[in-house]
């Protein structure tokens, strides 16, 4: 990596009619990464260069196209490079990057091939192809590309990151992927890809604070990827840092005004920032949910009581508090002795029978017992089978929802009352339930 001098003159690099290649591009990126306040200066210089477009040579238009790409104006950059560039290696390599960013992966691969034939660094082109094949959903081909490389490139941060990402995408050992990311960061502590990979892995393991630091370090790199900004914004919002979340989502929209997810996330973050959230009340609800999720099997009950509760499908204290005395006594083999035993157990936890009887909702007004065995099997599956996002999973835990049946008994309004559960998470839940021909209560 080329470390920026505090006196790096971005304007001179952009406007000076001299050498412009990978080293100059790296200087621009590192200078802005070091001090993002310089981005405005860089953007102004690009605008000035653009105003002189009629005077530029084909090589000058390559310089302009690359700078437009770095600013985030991908379509303008592509038109500049295609129509007015010199058709050389640098322009072709930049076109490959633009196609990749826009999801035109097959075109990206072709441009990497052309750039390499035109003389661009072969290792960099191979790494680019490996990344593109991974995004195409073909991690096996990504690994094949990486296996073609040998020598010094195998010790670079970019190579180690790409191999770690390919291992993760192919479903390999997560610890192997993490080790590769860590090696990449040991080579280049600011490698954005490896930092993003470590952020994902630590977030999956529930370590939000460590994940946040990795995302922040990845976001400091210029240009910052959309995925990094989206994930960082979501994590900021989950941690209650709404203003920082808004900045992340707005940065995405500044570059992609039509980015639907960023727009929805921004709406959620703004709404959350305006709420007066009662933290003490939430902590009280969280503690109550923890108690309600305690399995009844954790308590010393008689065999008869234990069997009766099992036969009634009562697994937690929360399930029990939704039942009345009459319902328990109406169960076969459940008598007064068992009732007294149960009530004493609940009293020790500050609970009582029927306390949440009003929360017993039906699934589309049909009792689970009247459904077919296949339908019952789906409803009794754990919520984790829906493969929800990290944010949605946290909300399910906060609400104490363990099965799909418990989820579909909730209305959309009830879910939206949960902290950090917004319209984006609600849309995700609805889409997942639709796969099983299910919907939330009242829909």
Ranges of beta strands (E only) in 72-213 are: none
Nearby residues of 298 by Cβ (< 8 Å), 6 or more positions away = none
Residue 251 confidence (pLDDT) above 90: no
Contact predicate 379/385, CB 8 Å: no
pLDDT band per the 50, 70, 90 thresholds, residue 237: confident
Sign of CA dihedral 137, 231, 198, 239: negative
Q: Quick: pLDDT tens for 77-132.
A: 999 999 999 999 999 999 999 999 888 999 999 999 999 999 999 999 999 999 99
Class of domain 1-120: mainly alpha
- In CATH terms, the superfamily for domain 295-358 is 5' to 3' exonuclease, C-terminal subdomain (1.10.150.20)
Q: What angle do CA 24, 28, 29 make, to 5 degrees?
A: 115
| Bridge partner list, 223 | none
Q: Has this prediction a pTM greater than 0.75? A: no
Give, as one character, the DSSP assignment of residue 295.
B
In the chain, the largest separation of any two C-alpha atoms, in whole Å, equals: 96
pLDDT of residue 361: 42
Residues 220 and 33: their CA atoms lie apart, in Å, by 6
Each domain of the chain, given as residue ranges in start order, spans 1-120, 295-358, 368-434
Equal fold, 1-120 vs 368-434: no
Q: Quick: pLDDT tens for 215-227.
A: 999 998 888 888 8
129 token code pair: 């192809």
Q: Quick: pLDDT tens for 298-349.
A: 777 888 888 888 877 788 888 888 877 876 776 657 778 888 888 888 887 7
CATH topology of domain 368-434: DNA polymerase; domain 1 (1.10.150)
| Bridge partner list, 316 | 295
């Amino acid at each position: 990596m080329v470390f920026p001098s505090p006196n790096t003159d971005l304007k001179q690099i952009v406007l000076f009619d001299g050498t412009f290649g990978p080293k100059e591009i790296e200087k621009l990126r590192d200078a802005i990464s070091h001090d993002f306040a310089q981005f405005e200066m860089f953007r102004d210089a690009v605008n000035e260069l653009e105003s002189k477009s009629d005077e530029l040579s084909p090589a000058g238009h390559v310089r302009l196209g690359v700078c437009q790409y770095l600013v985030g104006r991908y379509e303008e950059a592509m038109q500049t490079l295609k129509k007015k560039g010199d058709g050389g290696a640098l322009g072709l390599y930049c076109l490959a990057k633009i196609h990749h960013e826009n999801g035109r992966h097959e075109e990206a691969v072709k441009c990497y091939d052309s750039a390499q034939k035109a003389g661009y660094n072969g290792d960099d082109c191979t790494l680019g192809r490996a990344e593109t094949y991974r995004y195409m959903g073909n991690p096996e081909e990504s690994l094949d590309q990486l296996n073609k490389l040998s020598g010094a490139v195998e010790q670079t941060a970019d190579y180690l990151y790409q191999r770690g990402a390919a291992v993760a995408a192919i479903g390999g050992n997560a610890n192997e992927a993490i080790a590769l990311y860590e090696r990449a960061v040991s080579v280049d502590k600011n490698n954005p890809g490896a930092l993003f990979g470590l952020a994902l892995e630590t977030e999956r393991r529930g370590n939000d604070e460590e994940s946040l630091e990795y995302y922040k370090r990845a976001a400091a790199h210029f240009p910052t990827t959309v995925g990094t900004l989206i994930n960082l914004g979501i994590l900021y919002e989950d941690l209650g840092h709404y203003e920082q979340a808004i900045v992340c989502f707005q940065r995405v929209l500044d570059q992609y005004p039509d980015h639907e997810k960023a727009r929805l996330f921004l709406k959620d973050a703004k709404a959350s920032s305006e709420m007066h959230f009662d933290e003490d009340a939430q902590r009280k609800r969280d503690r109550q949910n923890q108690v309600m999720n305690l399995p009844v099997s954790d308590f010393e009950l008689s065999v008869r009581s234990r069997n009766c509760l099992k036969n009634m499908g009562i697994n937690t204290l929360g399930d029990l508090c939704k039942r009345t005395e009459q319902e328990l006594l109406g169960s076969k083999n459940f008598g007064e002795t068992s009732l007294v035993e149960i009530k004493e157990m609940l009293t020790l936890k500050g609970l009582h029978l029927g306390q949440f009887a009003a929360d017993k909702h039906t699934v589309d007004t049909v009792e689970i017992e009247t459904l077919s065995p296949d339908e019952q099997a789906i409803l009794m599956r754990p919520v984790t089978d829906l493969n929800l996002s990290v944010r949605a999973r946290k909300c399910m835990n906060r609400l104490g929802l363990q099965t799909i049946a418990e989820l579909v008994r909730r209305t959309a309004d009830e879910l939206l009352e949960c902290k950090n559960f917004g319209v984006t998470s609600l849309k995700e839940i609805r889409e997942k339930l639709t796969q099983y021909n299910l919907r939330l209560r009242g829909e």
